[in-house]
Structure 1
Amino acid sequence: MNCHSSRLAVIDIAGVLTLLDLDVRSEDKSDPGAAGDPSKFERKDVWDMKWAKDNPDLFAMMEKTRMYVIRNLDPEEPIQTSGYICNFEDLEIKSVLLDEIMKDPDRPNKDSLINFEIRSLRDSRALIEKVGIEDASQFIEDNPHPRLWRLLAEAALQKLDLKTAEQAFVRCKDYQGIEFVKRLGNLKSEPMKQAEVAAYFSRFEEAERMYLDMDRRDLAISLRIKLGDWFRVLQLLKSGSGDSDDALQEQAHNAIGDYFADRQKWVNAVQYYLLGRNQERLAECYYMLEDYDGLERLINQLPDNHKLLPDIGQMFATVGMCEQAVNAYLKCNQPKAAVDTCVHLNQVRDTRYQMIII
């Protein structure tokens, strides 16, 4: 059934493909457009077909070892393939060579997945590359599709033709693209526009190089922060000739520490948390490494009544280190927790802790 539920395709046991119109276009039952009446379209030796997800009059079918794309019941030139059609969207057909996969199903190859572009997409791309945006725009106007308008918008952006790009983004209802074009229009520098376009198309290395050539290290750093590439952020901060932002350096160190901590590389994480002065995550890493000397040093470094001290006291209590736990609790003015720890760890007879209990 197509994306509008207006037409049904049926492949019978003999491999004959027929179409049924489900829309009621006329009350006259003799009218071939009435619901349930088969259309005149018929193809033989068909073993697979797929409707396009975004066009009710477009579908692809397999006939022997040829793939046909049918638009408004008119076939395009066939493509030689024996793949099973698994998706048809945005004027692209994705097929899978199941026969090749089943030869070694435990080790499937990405080459068994094949993408085919239909003729209108190929023609539009060829017009943009060889003829120009203006003629391509007219062709897309005659054969409208969101994918084609998006293709035109991207080509116009590459040439900094902002007017055409904005119109094309409007036609494909890409709000983010429209906002991006408006932001480009507010920029005065052509190199800056080119750098922004490079970043838009995910050419991040090129965009960063352009920013640095314009002596805009801040924009290069901002780009890397958006990408979450904190290693590169740290490199850029250290490579600058002027004073670097200490707060941003701490943020970068902590983000890299988080990167290592997420992968349970606690030793590496400790190094960056020390540089980032992140005492909470540092305590967690010391605990995971069973570095209790490091935890004890952290108690001495923290000021009185610090919010982290009760957590450190609990860490020591869970491993039976009563003295260190008591020191942490007393430093944050929680004598009751210290007493409870002594009782829980059966240290009430030790003269060192009797004064606490009294």
Structure 2
Amino acid sequence: MFDLFDPVSASRLSVAPMMDWTDRHCRALHRALSRRVLLYTEMVTSVALVRGGARHLLAFDRAEHPVALQLGGSEPGELAAAARMGADEGYDEINLNVGCPSDRVQSGCFGAVLMRSPELVAECVAGMIAASPVEVTVKCRIGVDEQEPEEVLPDFLARMRAAGVRHVAIHARKAWLQGLSPKENRDVPPLDHDLVLRMKAEFPDLRLSVNGGIASLDQAQRFHDAGLDGVMVGRAAYHAPVDLLGDADRRIFGDDRAAVTGEDAVRAMLLYIDRHLAAGGRLHDVTRHMLGLFAGRPGARSWRHILSEGAHRPGAGRELVLAALGAVEEAGRERAAS
């Protein structure tokens, strides 16, 4: 467990768990940009861990701390065992997914569909808390389908609090389990950030983080100023990581640290890339997460093109990354001279 881990501080800004995105390589990049932001794994199912024996899914680099494990499941005993496994592995937090709307998750009776069964969620988290020496948290939606969020969410939070949960991250959208794809569920249902703010007023003893549609540190700071305990960023942190994470340690956590640039992050990742390749990995495994490092800057298109075209090729390594970085730097010099 991270020696300096403080759950209250760490949750001030976090990067949401995102399937196929927030793997260990993505987390290594995000940690190169911020020492303090709380990182989450992709969702790991309790079935895979407990029945499938897939403990390798819990592997992570100690440099990723502070890092949280997100679990998916709905069987209390199984989730308790999985939470204990995660804590034993060294995660700083164990989070239960009550927000994912995908068909695969619904068929397993976990994720957002559990918003319909708050009593079961409460039983699950109570068992996880009893089994885990590290904090157990919940990530949820404001409701699903025909539910009225103004009624459903307060009841859900009250049950979580009674079960011993102290921190809930709320994706401020409904999930429509029928009729919308997972992608559409990230955009189509309207955001209701004000409801999350009202929940903080109603549950002042709970730590509440808001998630959904947050695209800048300015916006994150406004939520802190309004009284929320934390902000969870998602796709914006993936597509433009420097903008969301490069100056987060100073602006959100108050550290005396200069902003990290895209160039800084690239150079910090070179040794990581070398180790990954030496272990038999492919360059693309890592660089696919780095394509947004220079979003909005001169040379961003060349950076993406060089990595996208070349990282799959046999023998591709740090030289390709440095060539792509050189294209960015040349574009910057040309811009400055014009």
- Taking structure 1 as the reference length, the TM-score comes to 0.24
